Amino acid sequence: DAKTTQPNSMESNEEEPVHLPCNHSTISGTDYIHWYRQLPSQGPEYVIHGLTSNVNNRMASLAIAEDRKSSTLILHRATLRDAAVYYCILRDKGTYKYIFGTGTRLKVLA
C-alpha cells in the first residue's frame, strides 16, 4: 500500500502561518499528492492536490519536494475555523484505493 507519515498533532496561533508536513517516500512517479481536512462530526473536505510543482488555491498552498518524497501544506493565516484533522493522501498504484492514514490534528490557539 502507498503510505504517508504525518505528525499526530500540531498547534498554531491564530493569524500565523502553519506548515503541515507529510512524508511519502514510496510515492511513484505518476501519483498525485492530495490533502483533505476533516472538521469534527463532518465528512472530509478537499483542500488541494499536486503532482510536481508547487500549487496555490484560495485555501492553502502545497509545496512539493524536488524528489517528491515529502510535501508541506501551508495555511498562510490560521483561523479558529481551520482547526481540523489534515490528511495527506496517496492513491494506491493501479487501484482506486485512496490511503488516508491517521492525519495531523491541528489546534489553533486564539
- Residue 42 DSSP symbol: S
Q: Name, in order, each residue with C-beta under 8 angstroms of 4's C-beta and a sequence gap of 6 or more.
A: 22, 23, 24, 88, 89, 90, 99, 101
3-state secondary structure of 41: coil
User: What is the phi/psi pair of residue 19, to 5°?
Assistant: -115, 115
Residue nearer to other proteins on the CB measure, 10 or 100: 100
x/- string (CB under 8 A) for other proteins, residues 68-97? Answer: -----------------x-x-------xxx
Instruction: Write the binding mask 16 to 55 for other proteins: x where contact by CB under 8 A, - elsewhere.
Output: ----------------x-x-x----xxxxxx--x------
Give the interface with other proteins as residue ranges (CB under 8 A): 32, 34, 36, 41-46, 49, 85, 87, 95-103
